[in-house]
Amino acid sequence: MNIRQLARIVKTLRRGVMAGLPMAEKSRDPIELFGEWFDTAERCGIYLHEAMTLATSTPDGIPSARMVLLKGFDHSGFSFFTNYGSRKSAELDGNPNAALVLHWNVLQRQIRITGAVARVSHEESAAYYKSRPRGSRIAAWASRQSRVLAHRDDLRRAFDEKQKEYESGDVPLPDFWGGYRLLPDDIEFWQGKANRMHDRLLFRRHQAGWVSEWLYP
């Protein structure tokens, strides 16, 4: 973190990040509040501010978690992309309930999100895939994600082969790669404060809208 980024963070804190969350109210839109916090983390220069923990589990309840990147959010949900042959995909296809956590330690902020997950459309996956750097698109073809890799050279060899195969044209979207979207049922905002008097504001989906309530820290 450089001096300029640190200065932005200090300025943000002085403007009231540590002052606390707004009062719980039914009219508050948690997606808009999420956007405000997400934009603040970006403006502060936090590296990979879009990184989040994705927690999944098997149908019989064995959990696993890993870091992924949030690639979009709106009232339809929170989206991320992966190899459909990966462990996370197998678990999501078998048990579509999942949780997300974003944590910005320097801002003393955390957001927890739970809900059901579904695959996004082929068109949406293709649009995002096309925006990725060429090397990342080739790597998507080369990696048999989550499967045993006998020798490190096998991955490099697969990458080189795909690079040669597509050297004269575009790199197409693999049929085993794409996105998921989590539609939130609960969104909890956590704001750290002095003396561990933290704020926790929970939004729960209710019919066509949201209801909110405070939680003890």
DSSP secondary structure string for all residues of 4-73: HHHHHHHHHHHTTGGG-PPPP-TT--HHHHHHHHHHHHHHTT-TTTTEEEEEEE-TT--EEEEEEE--EE
- The rounded distance, in Å, linking the Cα atoms of 173 and 175 is 6
Q: What is the pLDDT of residues 117-161, one digit of tens each?
A: 999 999 999 999 999 999 999 999 999 999 898 999 999 999 999
Q: Which DSSP state fits 166?
A: T
Query: φ, ψ for residue 200 (rounded to 5)?
Result: -130, 115
**Is the pLDDT at 15 greater than 90, yes or no?**
no
Domains contained in the chain, CATH given: 3-131+176-214 (2.30.110.10)
Q: What is the CA radius of gyration of the chain?
A: 20
Among 15, 196, 204, 205, the active-site one is 196
Q: Note if 134 is an active site residue.
A: no
pTM, entire model? 0.90
pLDDT of 33-75, one tens digit each?
Answer: 999 999 999 999 999 999 999 999 999 999 999 999 999 999 9
